[in-house]
Amino acid sequence: MLNNRKVRIMTQLAIYEKKEGRPDFRLAKYYKMDYARFNALKTILWVTIAYIVGLILVAIYKLEYLLDNAMTIDYKALGWTVLGIYLGIITVYVIGSLVGYSIYYTLSRKKLGRYYKMLGRLRSMYKEEDEYK
């Protein structure tokens, strides 16, 4: 005879495994800080690439000015300004990514905890059935 409660739990587990559980199972391989740091490094890489592309676009836009005033531009001050802006942007993005990915990891672990709790309930149902036989 079918146990409706057991079928409902198995259906919920299967839905979780197929849809939203895939990234959660992938995250289960990492520790929280390892996951956050890894994604912070990816953030640094992509922000750096975006900043360089932005600098190139600004340089192309201001190319006429740069060529006309090539001898009078204070390159040291310009370099420090560009570096300061870069460090400010990197700091904001790294802190944001560390906080964001830590929260994402925590939520993922909570969902995984519910999944394993439901698996435990299902296991105890099977044990109860075996005891009655």
Summarised one tens digit per residue, pLDDT across range 2-51 is: 788 888 999 999 999 898 888 889 898 999 999 999 999 999 999 999 99
| pTM, rounded to two decimals | 0.79
Backbone angles phi, psi at 73, to 5 degrees: -75, 135
Query: Which pLDDT score is estimated for 73?
Result: 93
pLDDT value at residue 126: 86
Residue 130 is predicted with a pLDDT of 78
Query: How does pLDDT run across 91-113, given as a tens digit for each residue?
Result: 999 999 999 999 999 999 999 99
Region of residue 17 (phi > 0: left; psi between -120 and 50: alpha; otherwise: beta): alpha
The mean per-residue pLDDT over the stretch 105-129 comes to: 91
The pLDDT of residue 109 is 94
Which helix (H) or strand (E) segment holds residue 45: the answer is helix 32-61
